[in-house]
């Protein structure tokens, strides 16, 4: 009888593990966006209610991903975004994770979307406060704009080769980024988002385990902001 119960317990534990495995992930993408490339397209961009963002990369998100290239999303509707939980991070959120969506707003909609879609899928590793504080820490630590400026790559409307942008970051910070481009209102290919990979505990950058092919011209514009 006892062994029987044990077996049932083991089986239950096993199915729980299997269940949770299907919701975990292999690594994160830390995605940052250049505000100048969002605001010079033919689509509209709105500054946050409080102020125009600083001329710096802004966080888009920290996205759990699988090595097969797909990713989990919207993993727990019972764990909604709650701004109160990150009230002590508000100043940092406003300066490093600004929203550019219209109509102009305080950013909570953007942060809520990022938590609900992505953060809930890594909450076994990072709770809500940790998800945002970890992302902020990674972003300020990697300081992409500093790495680019040190290599003579300035957001002044000039064109730079994608290779020179990638190499500048790789050489200064040690990790190879993926560059995503979009087009300005005249159709020029430009630096839009930069992806870096982070290990599944959110504690350190890693080389990306998958290749992210992103459409960029060989030479791309780095618009001012
Ligand atoms: C990728 O891997 C995850 C985790 O093993 C799995 O749940 C998902 O279905 C896979 N997706 C594809 C497209 O293979
Ligand atoms: C932008 O900065 C670079 C590096 O300082 C410089 O070579 C280039 O001429 C500048 N472009 C413009 C449009 O000012
Ligand atoms: C990409 O580069 C080619 C060759 O330099 C150029 O002809 C083309 O217009 C560029 N396309 C964009 C979208 O910038």
Identify the CATH number of the domain in which residue 177 sits.
3.90.730.10
> What span, in angstroms and rounded, lies between the C-alpha atoms of 148 and 164?
9
Average pLDDT of the chain to the nearest whole number: 91
User: Which candidate, 175, 219, 218, 179, places its Cα nearest to that of 199?
Assistant: 175
User: Which candidate, 161, 212, 214, 170, places its Cα nearest to that of 29?
Assistant: 212
> What span, in angstroms and rounded, lies between the C-alpha atoms of 200 and 194?
19
Query: Is 167 part of a structural domain of the chain?
Result: yes
Mean pLDDT of 176-190: 96
Q: Check if 118 is active-site.
A: yes
Q: How far is the CA of 69 from the centre of ligand 1 (A)?
A: 8
Q: How many domains does the chain have?
A: 1
Query: Is 20 part of a structural domain of the chain?
Result: no
Is the distance from the beta carbon of residue 186 to the nearest atom of ligand 3 less than 6 Å?
no
Query: Is 11 part of a structural domain of the chain?
Result: no
Query: Is 24 part of a structural domain of the chain?
Result: no
Return the ligand 1 atom nearest residue 25 CA.
Answer: 4
Half-sphere CA count of 29, side-chain side, radius 13 A: 26
Q: What is the pTM of this model?
A: 0.88
User: Domain of 40?
Assistant: 29-221
Residue 1 has pLDDT above 50, yes or no: no
Query: Is 16 part of a structural domain of the chain?
Result: no
Model confidence pLDDT, tens digit, residues 26-35: 999 999 999 9
Query: Is 2 part of a structural domain of the chain?
Result: no
Q: Rounded to whole angstroms, what are the CA distances from 149 to 68, 142, 146, 154, 180?
A: 34, 13, 5, 5, 19
Active-site position among 4, 23, 51, 60: 60
Query: Is 19 part of a structural domain of the chain?
Result: no
b/e per residue, 25-38, with b = 16+ CB within 10 A? bebbbbbbbbbbbb
Helix axes 108-117, 128-142, angle to 10 degrees: 110
């Amino acid at each position: 009888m006892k062994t029987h119960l044990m077996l049932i317990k083991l089986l239950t534990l096993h199915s729980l593990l299997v269940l949770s495995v299907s919701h975990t992930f292999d690594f994160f993408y830390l995605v940052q966006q250049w505000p100048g490339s969002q605001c010079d397209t033919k689509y509209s961009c709105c500054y946050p209610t409080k102020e125009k963002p600083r001329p710096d990369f802004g966080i888009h998100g920290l996205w759990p991903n699988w090595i097969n290239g797909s990713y989990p999303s919207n993993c727990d509707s019972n764990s909604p975004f709650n701004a109160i939980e990150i009230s002590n991070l508000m100043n940092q959120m406003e300066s490093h994770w600004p929203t550019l969506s219209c109509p102009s707003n305080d950013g909570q909609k953007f942060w809520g979307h990022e938590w609900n879609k992505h953060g809930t899928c890594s909450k076994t590793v990072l709770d809500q406060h940790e998800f945002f504080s970890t992302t902020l820490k990674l972003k300020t630590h990697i300081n992409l704009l500093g790495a680019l400026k040190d290599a003579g790559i300035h957001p002044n409307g000039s064109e730079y080769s994608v290779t020179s942008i990638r190499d500048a970051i790789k050489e200064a910070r040690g990790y190879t980024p993926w560059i995503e481009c979009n087009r300005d209102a005249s159709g020029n290919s430009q630096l839009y988002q930069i992806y870096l990979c982070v290990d599944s505990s959110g504690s350190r950058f890693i080389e990306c385990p998958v290749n992210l092919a992103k459409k960029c011209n060989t030479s791309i514009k780095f618009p001012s902001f």
